[in-house]
A and B are shown apart, each in its own frame.
Chain A
Amino acid sequence: MSAELLADILGSLSLPAEQQRFDFDWDAVIRTARRAGLLPRLALVLRENGRLDAVPPRPGAHLEAALVLSEKHAADVRREIDNLVAALSGIVDRIVLLKGAAYLAAGLPPSRGRIFGDIDICVPRASLSVVEAMLGVFGWQPGSIHPYDDAYYRRWMHQIPPLVHRTRGSAVDVHHTIVPLTARPKVPADLLLQAARPVDANSKIAVLAPCDMVLHSATHLFNEGEFVWAFRDLHDLDLLLRHFAAEQGFWSELIERAEILDLRRPLFYLLRYTARVFRTPVPEDALRRVEAFGPPAPLRPLMDTLLERALAPNLPLARDRWSPLALALLYGRGHYLRMPVHLLVPHLIRKAVRRPDDG
């Protein structure tokens, strides 16, 4: 399967040089990397390991194009982060960046070769309206949105609707907590935010502590119902784990933190799947300890089957005829995790009944 070829390249570059193989099916690799949002990362990883010249010219041209894109992207996001600081530094003590933008601000490995979408920031709930107003002054406006979705966002989700800059087109998602308010795992968001740390001494930008960053990204990956970028997100996590594992005691701390934050299940899936797909060197000991965090034994084969498909890159070449069903079931699971039934049912009914062109 093409995903394995791609995972192999991405994974094997962490192995000693003599174990690297370059007789890959480049056609499948390029196509898969493109749809997975990993073409720039593949290019960068190959370049950094001095292997870009070994790529045949035709696939190589795609990697070259991806490098152009990647530099442009990173420059854009850095500039946008600066713009956000300029807009908000007067009204909040710090801006906590989440997900992709956090990787970039903190100079972490997953920031390299990544295509960024919206910038996710987290501010105290109390300052939410001031933040929204100030961003409005600096040109960020709500994207076009149906009033029901708008209410849904504000009341039940953990963010105001995404804001789009009126001339630059950049998008910001403003959160005040980490997991939706109605989620089943009751994550004390304060703990995550308290442990957030500035990227450097003078900065207004803060990012989550390493274990929290891992757990937050893992929760997003495994608890939400959308898997469009799952393969890339999983690779981001592989890179994060390898990077943080250099710290003494990281794995223990990660497991303990998962218990404190009640994010055991996402951690279980995370370690299981990064090891499977990208051969992340997770210590045996850690894998054993998180066994207990997994779903009840009878459910495991089912979850394996569903997640295997959902985590595959988003193109027909890497998926099979069961993928749509797997995705549908996980979508349902995602909703179930985020909304109690008595709210979920009316929500789904309203969504189904609304005509598509109502926005």
Chain B
Amino acid sequence: MIRVTLRTGPFVTEIGTDIPFLHSELTRLYGSGNIVAPGRFADFHVEVQRAKGLRRHIRPQAVFDFDGFQPLKPLGLRQAVPLLEWGMNWIIGGEAHQYLILHAAVVERNGRALIMPAEPGSGKSTLTAALVYRGWRLLSDELTLIRPRDGLALPLARPINLKNESIDVIHRYAPGVFMSAAAYGTAKGTVALLSAPADSVARDNEPALPRWVVFPQFSAGAPARLEKRSKAGSLLYIGDNSINLHMHGAAGFELVADLVDRCDCLEFVYGDLDEAVRVFDSLAQTA
């Protein structure tokens, strides 16, 4: 069993695996900013191991284990990297109730955070990847952690999950950035993980105050368009798609309401990544 300890944002995860290629992918996907020496305390202890029994040899599978509990179905061995990433997200969503956790990407520029709730087919991850390789700081592509006492978003700065066509798009957009080997045939199609920018990782203990909530929608060929979106509608959507709002009861509702109140809520349609980044950049110059 090979062990690796990752520090990502507020969490230290100790990972054990008997799958050599997973270990080598991890050490390239995560850099020295994340890979740390094992310490006295890890927040989570996980293992990704080859399935036992028949599945060890016939269409071999990998199993994600969280301290003796297996929350996810085993996946094909070649999907070990996304399995680990999804597993870690599962754990954060299920355990880290010291935060309010939204299903949204969050990036930062000029000291202000921009949250992108995850509508299916929105291209949020692709947009996130483009932004953070054009000067924006990555906090997360998937889970927005809001600290209840001050409403700040806390970074995770973990690899970005790319799917299908966006894998090639981002290869071209950010050439030379490490991307894990594509895993085919996952539930989400073909998946690859893109390394987080080193600067984002270096600053992953720096929270940011949310200033915008932007709902992106990719539409091939469409010119970029940014419009106000109803705050009430935004509140409902974020609430419905939160990861653990139900844990926080009334206080959680207030937190989301404050967020939506304080932020500009916008809809964003785009067809071209470069143009999208320009629009976001000029947004960042305002207010």
Contacts and interface: CB of A to CB of B under 8 A. Distances in A.
B45 to A, nearest CB: 6
Chain A residues touching B, majority SS: helix
Interface in A227-269: none
Contact of B247 (A35, A72, A316, A317): A72
A139 B184 CA distance: 42
A27 B97 CA distance: 18
Nearest to B148: A68
Interface stretch (B36-44, B78-86, B267-275): B36-44
B249 A31 contact: no
Interface residues of B, number: 18
Contacts of B95: 34, 62, 65
Contacts of B68: 35, 314-317
Contacts of A25: 40
A30 B95 CA distance: 12
Interface string A310-332: 00001111000000000000000
A71 interface: yes
Contacts of B98: 61, 64-65, 68
Chain B residues touching A, majority SS: loop
Interface in B87-113: 95-98
A350 interface: no
A58 B95 CA distance: 13
Interface residues of A, number: 24
B45 A68 contact: no
A117 to B, nearest CB: 16
Contacts of A137: none
A61 B10 contact: yes
B239 to A, nearest CB: 15
A69 interface: yes
Contacts of B262: none
A67 to B, nearest CB: 8
A293 interface: no
B71 to A, nearest CB: 13
B12 interface: yes
26 contacts: A26-B41, A27-B40, A27-B42, A31-B45, A31-B67, A34-B67, A34-B95, A35-B67, A58-B12, A58-B43, A59-B41, A61-B10, A61-B43, A62-B95, A64-B98, A65-B96, A65-B98, A66-B97, A68-B248, A69-B97, A69-B247, A72-B247, A315-B68, A316-B67, A316-B68, A317-B67
